[in-house]
A = this chain, B = another copy of it.
Amino acid sequence: MATIRDVAKLAGVSVATISRYLNKSGYVNADTELNIKHAIEKLNYLPSGVARGLAGKSTKTFALILPDISNPFFPELARAVEDVASTYGFTVILCNSDGQIGKEKNYIDILKSKNIDGIIFASNTLGQEDVDKLASFNIPFVCLDRAPTNKSCSVVRSNNREGGRLAVKHLLESGSKKIGHIYGPQDLIPAKERLIGYEESVRAFDWFSPSLMVQGDFGISGGIKATEELMRRHPDIDAIFAGNDLMAVGALKALHRMGIQVPGQVVVCGFDGINMTEITEPELTTIAQPIYDMGALVSRILIKKIEGTIEADQIYELDVTLIPRESTKRSG
């Protein structure tokens, strides 16, 4: 590979001039510019990002740390992140943390050694020590779905509580008389918020009882188990609001196995808006997060932070939308 010195030699100028030309910093004569252009073309010269990185410049790379790319929520997010990154000339490193704090710390060290420009955390296990570590490393980062208490960290999330309310409202309007809720792990902020949204909306009803709320694990099998438990406790339930789509899919499966008609006897509403909801039978009503938009936004925010063109850390809360489908469509 040709280096900047080769180009300089061929163009008959110094490396400094080439560098100025490449970065459009400082003056370069029009004729010189042409010579350089030709030399670069002739040599097929490509500046080394590594050398640039070492010389203290941006490596034009950031990392996306998420629990597991094979969880259906994340591919769309990752796609959005990478789309925005690539239009700004950035490259994305993918990290699966499995929500394990150890793995996450390990990634942070490796990423630091690679001198990456920033990190997007779509993982929920980020502790205060990690934040401190990142701060000490001076690595810009942005979070998804974090608590609002974090200083020095912008957060993108959607209005999960409002989503919970929206789900209940829709279920009531579609004629439900008794609504159960399968909630996700309570160390995850979104799961907590959705639960609160549900609880706020239903506690005034005389049919409400805390036993209508069952914990799931945000996975399909957890949704199945929780649904079985819920139907055991309350066989008269006619609606289930699941804390995410995967558990809603589990609910659909469990109800099907029990011979309970959806939406005939029980209606089901999920949360997230992953693609999977379109292929279930019946198709799944869900409270959709703008997943792609969230990814694009978080990516854009990080890039702004990296480039220093952002003011202060901030919480960006995006609206969720109800997507009504068959699973909550009562014939009556």
Interface residues of chain A, those whose CB is within 8 Å of chain B, are: 1, 46-51, 53-54, 59, 61, 64, 68-72, 74-76, 78-79, 82-83, 86, 91-96, 109-115, 137, 220, 249, 252-253, 256, 275-276, 278-281
Contacts and interface: CB of A to CB of B under 8 A. Distances in A.
B249 A279 contact: yes
Contact of A96 (B64, B79, B137, B256): B79
Q: Which 9 A-B pairs have the closest CB atoms?
A: A281-B281, A49-B113, A70-B75, A94-B94, A70-B79, A50-B53, A50-B115, A49-B114, A75-B75
A93 B91 contact: yes
Contacts of A253: 279
Nearest to A44: B136
B109 A82 contact: no
A61 B114 contact: yes
A88 to B, nearest CB: 12
Given A50-B50, A114-B91, A75 B69 contact: yes
B92 A93 contact: yes
23 contacts: A1-B112, A47-B113, A49-B110, A49-B114, A50-B113, A50-B115, A64-B94, A68-B79, A69-B75, A69-B79, A70-B75, A70-B78, A82-B96, A86-B95, A91-B114, A92-B94, A93-B93, A93-B94, A94-B94, A220-B278, A253-B279, A276-B276, A279-B280
Contacts of A276: 276, 279
A38 to B, nearest CB: 19
A263 to B, nearest CB: 13
Given A82-B95, A93-B93, 17 more contacts: A1-B137, A47-B113, A61-B114, A69-B82, A70-B275, A72-B75, A72-B275, A75-B75, A82-B94, A82-B96, A86-B95, A86-B96, A91-B110, A92-B94, A94-B94, A276-B279, A280-B281
B46 A113 contact: yes
Contacts of A51: 54
A69, A92, A95: which has the most chain B beta carbons within 10 Å? A69
Contacts of A114: 49-50, 59, 61, 91
B46 A54 contact: no
Given A70-B76, A82-B95, A256 B279 contact: no
Contacts of A53: 50
Contacts of A94: 64, 78, 82, 92-94
A137 B1 CA distance: 8
A264 B276 CA distance: 24
A51 B55 CA distance: 9
Nearest to A277: B279
Contacts of A112: 1, 46
Nearest to A283: B253
Contacts of A281: 252, 256, 280-281
A123 to B, nearest CB: 14
Nearest to A284: B279
A68 B113 CA distance: 29
Contacts of A68: 79
